[in-house]
Amino acid sequence: MTTHVRPDAVKDQNQQFRIDLAAAYRLVHRLGLDDSIYTHISVRLPGSHDRFLINPYGMRFEEVTASNLVTVDLDGVVIDDPLGLGINPAGFTIHSAVHAARPDVACVLHTHTVAGVAVSCQKQGLLPLNQWSMQFTGCLAYHDYEGIALDLDERERLVADLGDKFVMVLRNHGMLTCGRSVAEAFKLMHNLERSCRAQLAIQSAGAEIAPLSDAVARKTAGQYATFYDSIETNGVPDTEWAAFKRMLARTDPDFVN
């Protein structure tokens, strides 16, 4: 029996993805995680393998709205560009690589924050020093710096390093998170950023660090994973993401336009 999906249902789902992506851009700006007009967040359009939404090149994150997002395919061909600004080629290289290789990933989020870049420059990378950072135990991938991400042949190495993980440290560069939804990618980045800031604060304090066992770190990571799974696969309401969007509705109501 053939299942028919109502065109208006698909349209509504596409619009919700646009609103969530615009919300993520605004939140990244509000939390100070943006880098001028650089770095990106992308989301795969529902029901599609090769088309995704990304920000128009040249706009700051606080200017992104649901309607001015650019639709692009995996070959970098712009399908729809409401403002005619195009996209950043470096953003296309990283994001298209992940979207092409990982059908389980809906959203990819990349940042260059001071704390994230600082930790990415440390040989040991992110350390499991506290509850925030322990969630990433056994879940972190690393990719060595190869220059500004303009070479398409880097994509193969990047996705090989990422493997099946959802969080990656781009060495000497920044951080990257993936999510089964925009909300998951954003929340992972929110905690990753706080982990980096806490690590730098702990290191700069110079005090003796309280040790944590690998068993406790892995247990904590599993607890976080179970919580995320309950939302992404079991239909538990995402109250944290809803709260973030309510905040935006008060301060940045135009993000939905």
Q: What is the DSSP string of 111-135?
A: E--HHHHHHHTSTT-S---SHHHHT
Q: Is the pLDDT of residue 228 over 90?
A: yes
Average pLDDT over residues 223-233: 96
Q: Is the pLDDT of residue 2 over 70?
A: no
d(CA 159, CA 214): 27
CA distances 144 to 42, 120, 148, 154, 172, Å, are: 22, 10, 12, 10, 8
234 DSSP 8-state letter: T
Mention every residue, 6+ apart, whose C-beta is less than 8 A from residue 228.
184, 187
d(CA 103, CA 159): 12
Residue 187: band (very low, low, confident or very high) from pLDDT cuts 50, 70, 90: very high
**Model pTM score:** 0.93
Mention every residue, 6+ apart, whose C-beta is less than 8 A from residue 99.
42, 44, 50, 52, 74, 105, 108
d(CA 125, CA 145): 13
Cβ-based neighbour number of residue 31 at 10 Å: 16
Structural domains of the chain ordered from first start = 11-239 (3.40.225.10)
